[in-house]
Structure 1
């Protein structure tokens, strides 16, 4: 069985590792190529886009894929939409692997928004030193904010447009609670902005913000495409895949 994993996440790498142990399963992990030095999973790897839903459907046909598991970032909604269209066109099963989102607990001061643009407008009403952990790709939404200083944490250096008052901290998770506490203290952070990405690797910042009384602007995640089944863990995804049976193509 040939499985295409739309990857780039910790869960995608774990899924590739689990499937690598199954002799009857061959995997191809597709990475977007936005990170300069990605951590490569086992199995075959391709880097770069497909050319929209039509290009992905063509790839699925040409490479005789039997299933697709969309294990992209929870906010990669364009890729997820393309995957849903392509899988339907080629008539191969599709699963979305989505780690559960975060939930506020007692003591949290969360401000939920639906977009990065709303996050930018909300953050400026809450403070003047903002820890921005939404990644480098959406910085244009904050470029117009001139009355706030931002600390951006990113794996790779950003490209403009971005806010005029911004320092960049190049780092890759997982992050520790002690480290996040020190970061908030050292930079005098009074607002945290994040996406509801879920997972444990970057969750300590939420605890550190709660302890420090720092408000958190949380961008809600987009839903998975309608009709696509969702697994919460790589193990659930493997179980789903094995239930789909033998390769669809002889």
Structure 2
């Protein structure tokens, strides 16, 4: 694999370093940090929101926690000599994505948004696409008594008023209000199709609710729902900020970095 180095030669034989902030605890963010680590000409700082109790950490320098909003991020970029920003957060992390776009623009820095391709509906699927959590909670009410909720721990409160029974799967326990009738299943992917099918059958699930996160780690639940002919309430991703530069692969990130001056 070719290295994706960006070097600027200064007088005296010294190399200038491009310092890059990578936002996100996703697989893509870890891959970007791994590839860049040790490459001459780049210094990497990865930032995690701190919402997962035991995150899988990337290589290199890591900071955990928020920035205090968009202006806090702008000040952090200036105070830490950042030369470029890569937003590799979860596709549904709309707040930090908007903050990153604004802070980078205000700072005159290039910013790249990395978003893996969303899932595609296949023959046999029974998807119902909805724009947000509120619409999902409204839609699921008429689709069955037992619901498999796989939206992470945040956002569960949108279903708190539902009368159905919910199997809530997340890495960490949900935050805030929860449905009166529920069971929490703490687990981290990847999951196999066989295991997902067995889980849906054993729990007598009537409908699956999920976000269009994309990726292979949690895609098996969709195949299981297809095999059992279950409806899937699929929550669409929030839109990226206007004018955002977006790529879907780590290889494309490598190409983008080579273009930075």
TM-score by length of 1: 0.96
**Do structure 1's residue 79 and structure 2's residue 102 form an aligned pair?**
no
Q: Distance in 2 between matches of 1:240 and 1:145?
A: 45
Q: Distance in 2 between matches of 1:144 and 1:26?
A: 47
Flag the 1:200–1:57 CA change in 2: closer, same or farther, 3 A.
Answer: same
TM-score by length of 2: 0.92
Q: CA deviation at 1:8?
A: 1.1
What are the within-5 Å matches in structure 2 for residues 33-112 of structure 1? Answer: 33-112=50-129
**Do structure 1's residue 173 and structure 2's residue 202 form an aligned pair?**
no
Q: CA deviation at 1:235?
A: 1.7
**Aligned equivalent of 1:211:** 227
What are the within-5 Å matches in structure 2 for residues 98-137 of structure 1? Answer: 98-137=115-154
Q: Which has the higher contact order (CA 8 A, sep 6+)?
A: 1
Number of equivalences: 244
Q: Distance in 2 between matches of 1:239 and 1:159?
A: 39
Q: Distance in 2 between matches of 1:18 and 1:221?
A: 27
Q: CA deviation at 1:159?
A: 3.0
Q: Distance in 1 between matches of 2:240 and 2:216?
A: 21
Name which one, 1 or 2, has greater alpha-carbon Rg.
2
Which of the two has greater helix per residue?
A: 1
**Do structure 1's residue 5 and structure 2's residue 22 form an aligned pair?**
yes
Alpha carbon RMSD of aligned pairs, Å? 0.8
Q: Judge which range, 208-217 or 234-243, deviates more.
A: 234-243
**Aligned equivalent of 1:141:** 158
Q: CA deviation at 1:21?
A: 4.0
Q: CA deviation at 1:23?
A: 2.0
Q: CA deviation at 1:63?
A: 0.5
